[in-house]
């Protein structure tokens, strides 16, 4: 049996192929890293994780590839506040809780916010495409650090 992440990678490669995107070893590695990583990495973090395997790759290359994935609908670019963009592999709709101290983003699931979309559409006459919800707080690690000091 294939692990979920292997299935996700296979599907992603099919999607890229269908949108006419050439699958280079770098693109393959970036996708694989994004799927296995649950930390919503920045382009810089992806670069640092892969630079050993791809000495000729630059942060700009990573960024360009992430843009290609985003345009193919595989990856979401998360911009919160003024920190650098973080990237999330799009598997299903989920929400984010963000640490005010260190910027860590953690996924969580909550059903039923489609009701909010329906209500918004109903009262404004808009055709709703999407919504965005972020929850902010202090992550357990930062809370521990604060308690220790």
What is the contact surface with Zn ion in residues (CB under 5 A)? Answer: 88, 99, 101-102, 104, 107, 139, 142
Shorter beta-carbon distance to Zn ion: residue 57 or 88: 88
The whole-angstrom separation of Cα 106 and Cα 83 is 16
CB of 108 to Zn ion, least distance (A): 9
CB of 6 to Zn ion, least distance (A): 19
Q: Which residues of 11-24 are buried (b: 16+ CB within 10 A; e: fewer)?
A: ebbeebeeeebeee
Shorter beta-carbon distance to Zn ion: residue 29 or 139: 139
CB of 113 to Zn ion, least distance (A): 15
Residue 119 CA: distances (Å) to CA of 51, 122, 127, 134? 47, 5, 11, 19
Tokens of 56: 């000729």
Shorter beta-carbon distance to Zn ion: residue 29 or 98: 98
CB of 12 to Zn ion, least distance (A): 16
Phi–psi pair at 25, nearest 5 degrees:
-55, -35
Shorter beta-carbon distance to Zn ion: residue 26 or 104: 104
Length of the chain: 149
């Amino acid at each position: 049996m294939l692990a979920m992440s292997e299935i996700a990678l296979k599907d992603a490669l099919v999607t890229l192929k269908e949108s006419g995107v050439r699958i280079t070893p770098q693109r393959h590695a970036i996708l694989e890293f994004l799927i296995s990583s649950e930390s919503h990495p920045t382009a810089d973090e992806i670069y640092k994780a892969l630079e050993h395997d791809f000495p000729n790759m630059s942060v700009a290359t990573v960024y360009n590839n992430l843009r290609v994935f985003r345009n193919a609908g595989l990856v979401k670019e998360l911009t919160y506040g003024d920190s650098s963009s973080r990237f999330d592999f799009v598997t299903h709709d989920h929400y984010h809780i963000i640490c005010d101290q260190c910027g860590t983003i953690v996924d969580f699931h909550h059903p039923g916010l489609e009701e909010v979309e329906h209500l918004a559409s109903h009262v404004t006459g808009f055709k709703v495409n999407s919504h965005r919800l972020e929850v902010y707080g202090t992550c357990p690690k930062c809370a521990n650090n604060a308690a220790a000091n």
